[in-house]
Amino acid sequence: MRLGAPRVVASCAPRRPRLQVVWVLVVASAACAAVLGLGALAGAVAPSVPSETTVVRVKPGESLWELAGRVAPASDASVVVERIRELNGVEGLVRPGQPLTVPFEP
């Protein structure tokens, strides 16, 4: 045995995962949770149309958009207009005095 010679010691202990892999998993999990959470919120704030309906007459010069604002002011007008079209089979313009079934906010 020589004095001063370097000794090499091999370790058979398992290696711990690198810190980078752990961070990738943490970031991926956080991103997944954020996407799922935003998806749940989007469903909760989807534009709603009142479920009650009533029959109203179109005023002179009134469009479906103005009618939607009059009968359901707290709702998204585009969604209310689409519902009015569905309820009445309306494709184009409406006439003054025309009766329409509309979603209504009491």
Stretch 8-24: mean pLDDT: 69
Residues 106/57, Cβ–Cβ less than 8 Å: no
CA–CA dist 86, 74 (Å, integer): 20
pLDDT given for residue 22 in this prediction: 75
Percent of the chain exceeding pLDDT 90 equals 43
Q: What is the pTM of this model?
A: 0.56
The widest CA-to-CA distance across the chain, in whole angstroms, is: 112
Nearest 5°: CA angle at 14, between 9 and 15? 90
Average pLDDT, the chain: 82
At 17-58, the pLDDT tens digits run 666 777 777 888 888 787 887 766 665 555 588 889 999 999
Q: Nearest 5°: CA angle at 52, between 51 and 58?
A: 115
| pLDDT at 9 > cutoff 60 | yes
pLDDT at residue number 60: 95
